[in-house]
Amino acid sequence: MKKILFGVAGSLILALLSITAHAQSHNVLYVTGGGHHDYEAQEEFLRSELTDRMDISWETDFTAGQDRNDFIIERFNESNWIDGYDAVIYNMCFADVTDNEYIERITQAHYDSGAAAVVLHCAMHTFRDAETEEWDRLIGLDTYYHERQQRSFKIEPINRYHRVMDEFPEVAWVQPVDELYIVTDTYDDLIPLAEAWGPETEEWHPVLWLNTYGNARVVGTAAGHNTGVMEDEVFLNFLVNGLEWAFDK
């Protein structure tokens, strides 16, 4: 009888440990700053929403402020900067940073560690004049500019049944006023999830996607110039689902 009781108790303990391990909080670093966007308001909003909807620990690096497109973030000068983080969310705009070694220290950290990357809006135009292509490879695509005018446009699903697209509108997400990024090329591991028509180019352009870069899963969206876009439930659901997919390797 004692052996049976000990066996049952042991099984319960192992089950509880398994549940606890599965439910443990993930450490997220949020890197933001640069020009052209209200990064302070966006950080406050996303931090509040994502920490409320997910079991994550949130740390923000806003040392760059909101004015400079050429700012070098000090933490990225350290080779082990990514240690302890499960994901890094990049909501930043540093188009004038061209230091290849600096950029590749960021990308290599994801490639080796497997820490997820979430890239939002102007993160796609960050480092765009650098010679290295590693940032583009991490993102999964190339884009250098956006349409001349902001406008409201429809984002249509092209991979409707991927788990990250749960709760995405059946036909299209009619976005609040935003910028459509012109995508000129994509890499082999990119998984496009939704796209929008660009009348200036007469082509479809990915707006939501996933990518794999080395050991890391990558979640990307070109949406989000204006804070109002981020406040949309479709945007928030995509981020939550994307992070859960990225953590669940």
CATH code of residue 108: 3.40.50.880
Whether residue 37 lies inside any domain: the answer is yes
Domain that holds residue 186: 26-247
Exposure string over 137-147, b if 16+ CB within 10 A, otherwise e: bbbbbbbeebb
Please report, for residues 65, 103, 105, 110, 188, the alpha-carbon distance to residue 71 in angstroms, rounded to integers and kept in the order given: 9, 12, 16, 21, 31
In a domain, 234, yes or no: yes
> Whole-model pTM?
0.90
Question: Does 164 fall in a domain?
Answer: yes
Q: Domain tally for the chain?
A: 1
Measure the CA angle with vertex 170, ends 165 and 172; round to 5°. Answer: 90
| First and final C-alpha spacing in the chain | 41
Q: Determine the Cα–Cα distance for residues 196 and 193; give it in Å rounded to an integer.
A: 11
The residue among 135, 133, 121, 130 whose CA lies nearest residue 99 is 130
Tell me whether residue 7 is in a domain. no
Phi, psi of 81 (to 5 degrees): -60, -25
Q: With beta carbons less than 8 A apart as the criterion, state whether 126 and 94 touch.
A: yes
Q: 5 lies in a domain?
A: no
Q: What confidence score (pLDDT) does residue 184 get?
A: 96
pLDDT at residue 227, rounded to an integer:
94
Mean pLDDT by 10 residues, the chain (249 residues): 45 42 80 91 98 98 89 96 98 95 98 98 96 98 92 94 96 93 97 97 98 98 94 98 93
Is 13 domain-assigned? no
Chain centroid offset of residue 89 CA? 5
On whether residue 10 sits in a domain, the answer given is no
Q: Is 50 a domain residue?
A: yes
**What is the pLDDT at residue 17?**
42
- Show the tokens assigned to 129: 């004049």
Q: What is the pLDDT of residue 5?
A: 40
Q: Which residues in 38-60 are b (16+ Cβ under 10 Å) and which e?
A: ebeebbeebbebbeeebebebeb
